[in-house]
Structure 1
Amino acid sequence: EIATNFGVSKITVHEHLTHLEKKGAIFRLRARARGIQVLHDPDSPEALGIEPQKEMSLPLLGKIAAGRPIEAIEDRELLDLGELIPHGPNHYLLEVRGDSMIEDHILDGDYVVVERREHAQNGETVVAIIDDNEATLKRFYRESGHFRLQPANTNYPPLIRDRVQIRGVVVGVIRQVR
């Protein structure tokens, strides 16, 4: 069926399946028709050939006032950054380009942590595909008869579309101070 569907030979299909099995992407149940089981997400770090990093932690030395000064007390503990940054097989990063989300404190050059989802609630910041091929980061609103993708910058108008594909919802922002 695979060979017919893709217009290739059965030998080519066998070679590809063998290669995928060796990479750990699939498991084949030899005695069953259609006995192919996908073992992990094709967009996962492993499938993309990216070695996941080990857990990272930094010493947390206390609190610092950003308003009225407070007494300098040094606490020593280790803070696991993995607890601060949502991560898992359904999460990925995108680098932000542009200034349409600055009122939500998402700036050009920031990284957004995205949870891969196909649906969003009104008001959530989403990664959306519009006009068949263009990706954008906006607040999502389902309204009667259309979708509104709302920038968080009054210099930009909302995008009104009949069709929107949600690729994920923003669950975090990472910024480097330069």
Structure 2
Amino acid sequence: MLTAKQHELIRFIQQRLEETGISPSFEEMKEALDLKSKSGVHRLISALEERGFIRRLPNRARALEVIKNPEDSTPIPRNTTTLAANDRVISNAAAPTTSTPKPAPEAANDVIEIPLHGRIAAGAPIEALEGQSSLPVPAALLGPGEHYALEVSGDSMIEAGIFDGDFALVRRTNTARDGEIVVALVNGEEATLKYLHKDGSLVRLDPANATYDPQVYGPGEVEVQGKLAGLLRRYH
């Protein structure tokens, strides 16, 4: 079952695609659903994507595809409607043989706000600070799921291209595969950004800097709070 807002959003997207062939921007979806922020739109889209009702077209800004109707869960033919800012809509049943292409609408650079939860250590663990601020992030950098940001402090991950002052974009999850870069909460009070490795009942957090040693913890001492999804870097 979809929520009322999820139903409303998928109907709005499908209507816009049928009318113009272009998926609506995050700002248009926010206004149509009377939401307070674009982060609410992002959460709705992620939920619909995870449940198989829509999908994002890769490597394109402002590109969504409705693949299943919420009313009857009937799949929509993949090639009947193409939705991207740089594509025109052509039906397979009646594709024109000659026509003058219309100017393609300009792609929208949608930006959403995700929570910014203080600083995280890329060195010795430091306290994970919870904050109420937010960070604007291009939607194209984020995949499905809920995300948050942390400011990196330290240099223990520089060989992975993660530097002091970078913003780590983190997908919220409590599971991760061996070798993934995670936000690890140590003893319930300190957080660090490291490669995760499991060695029997022990957990090893590996840095990406030859001058730092791995950190080894016993059962129950480490809790995964997210996986690294991307980075933002500001140049001054």
Contact kept, 8 Å, 2:156 with 2:212, in 1: the verdict is yes
Take 1:165 and 1:90, find their aligned partners in 2: how far apart are those partners?
18
Counterpart for residue 231 of structure 2: 173
What's the CA shift for 1:88?
Answer: 6.1
- Judged with a 3 Å threshold, the aligned counterparts in structure 2 of structure 1 residues 136 and 165 are, in CA distance, closer, same or farther, namely same
Q: Per the alignment, in what secondary structure is the counterpart of residue 142 of structure 1?
A: strand
Q: Per the alignment, in what secondary structure is the counterpart of residue 153 of structure 2?
A: coil
Asked if residue 134 in structure 1 is aligned to residue 163 in structure 2, the reply is no
Tell me which protein shows more strand as a share of its residues. Answer: 1
Counterpart for residue 222 of structure 2: 164
CA RMSD in angstroms comes to: 2.5
Take 2:37 and 2:139, find their aligned partners in 1: how far apart are those partners?
16
Asked if residue 52 in structure 1 is aligned to residue 37 in structure 2, the reply is yes
TM-score (norm 2): 0.42
User: 1:71-150 alignment to 2 at 5 Å?
Assistant: 78=107, 80=109, 82-86=138-142, 90-150=146-206
Query: Can you give the 5+ residue segments of structure 2 that lack an aligned partner in the other structure?
Result: 1-35, 42-60, 62-104, 111-137
Counterpart for residue 90 of structure 2: none
For the pair shown, which has the larger CA radius of gyration, 1 or 2?
1
What's the CA shift for 1:155?
Answer: 1.0
Take 1:97 and 1:145, find their aligned partners in 2: how far apart are those partners?
29
What's the CA shift for 1:83?
Answer: 4.5
Contact kept, 8 Å, 2:166 with 2:232, in 1: the verdict is yes
Contact kept, 8 Å, 2:145 with 2:171, in 1: the verdict is no
TM-score (norm 1): 0.54
* Paired amino acid for 2:107: L
Q: Per the alignment, in what secondary structure is the counterpart of residue 155 of structure 2?
A: coil
Query: Can you give the 5+ residue segments of structure 1 that lack an aligned partner in the other structure?
Result: 1-50, 58-75
